[in-house]
Structure formats: C-alpha cells, structure tokens
C-alpha cells in the first residue's frame, strides 16, 4: 500500500488538502523546514561528488520509498502538477523525513560518488518509510 491508497481512504476533514474532491483550504507553500531539509540533502550530495544524475535519482528514490509511488504516479494520482509545495501535508512530512534520513545515511556511510550516495539514500529512506502507516 502506498500513500495514494492510504490518503484516498481518509476522510476529507482529516487532511489539509482534499485533492480528490477539491478544497478551499490554503496550502502554506513557504514551509522553511521542508525546504531546508531538502536543501541540506542536496548540499550534502554536492559536497560528496554527486552529479546532476545523483540529484535526480535521489529525488526519485526519496519519493518512491517514502510514498510508495514514483514521482509521476504520485502527482498524477493526486491530480496536481509536479511541485512538492502542492502535496498534501502527509506527503510533505514523509518527504521531509525521507530527506533527513537520506542525508544522515549518506553521512553515516561516508558515501562518496554517485553509486554510493544513491545506495545510501535508498537504505536510509527504506528505514524511515517504516514510520508511516501506508
């Protein structure tokens, strides 16, 4: 089960954004802690020799491992454009935790270069995924 299945089963008043039926809620797009976690992850990747492909792979792995869906599937399933700020709160929280777990795993493994970094990101986010109900 992924985030989409879990999210679609929740009642609309339990979520910040009712993506399946529309909503008048205003989504806070400033979210400094979410942006900071993602920025720190990508700064760590850059400092350890990550390439453009490493950054792209990291974003894909974090999304897949933390939500149970690839980026395209997640955004299409929610009916929104590919922009993390438009995701429901639960998905944003999962991705933030994934970014933090990935950065910490990279540091713990002392990963350097594309392959080691990608492997560490995968390992760290798979551990963190267990924290969520989906």
Position 65 in a domain? yes
In this prediction, residues 109-120 reach a mean pLDDT of 98
pLDDT band at 9 (very low <50, low <70, confident <90, very high): confident
Position 100 in a domain? yes
What's the domain count of the chain?
Answer: 1
Task: Say yes or no to pLDDT of 128 above 60.
Answer: yes
What count of other Cβ atoms lies within 10 Å of the Cβ of residue 14?
10
Position 32 in a domain? no
Q: 21 with 79: CB under 8 angstroms?
A: no
Position 9 in a domain? no
Q: 105 with 121: CB under 8 angstroms?
A: yes
Position 28 in a domain? no
User: Which residue, among 53, 66, 42, has the nearest Cα to 130 in the 3D structure?
Assistant: 66
Residue-averaged pLDDT of the chain = 87
The answer to which of 2-11, 44-53, 72-81, 87-96 has the lowest mean pLDDT is 2-11
pLDDT at 13: 46
Q: Give the integer Cα–Cα distance in Å for 86 and 31.
A: 11
Position 2 in a domain? no
Position 13 in a domain? no
pTM: 0.78
Residue range 29-69, pLDDT digits in tens = 555 577 899 999 999 999 999 999 999 999 999 999 999 99
Position 131 in a domain? yes
Q: Which residue range(s) make up the domain with 46?
A: 41-134
Higher pLDDT, 24 or 129: 129
């Amino acid at each position: 089960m992924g985030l989409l299945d879990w999210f679609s089963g929740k009642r609309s008043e339990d979520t910040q954004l009712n993506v399946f039926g529309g909503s008048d809620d205003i989504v806070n797009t400033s979210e400094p802690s979410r942006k900071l976690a993602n920025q720190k992850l990508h700064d760590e990747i850059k400092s350890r020799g990550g390439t453009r492909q490493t950054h792209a792979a990291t974003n894909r792995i974090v999304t897949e491992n933390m939500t149970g869906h690839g980026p395209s599937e997640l955004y299409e399933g929610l009916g929104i454009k590919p922009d993390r700020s438009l995701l429901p709160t639960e998905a944003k929280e999962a991705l933030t935790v994934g970014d933090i777990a990935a950065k910490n795993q990279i540091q713990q493994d002392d990963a350097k270069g594309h392959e080691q970094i990608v492997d560490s990101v995968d390992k760290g986010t798979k551990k963190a995924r267990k924290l969520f109900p989906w």
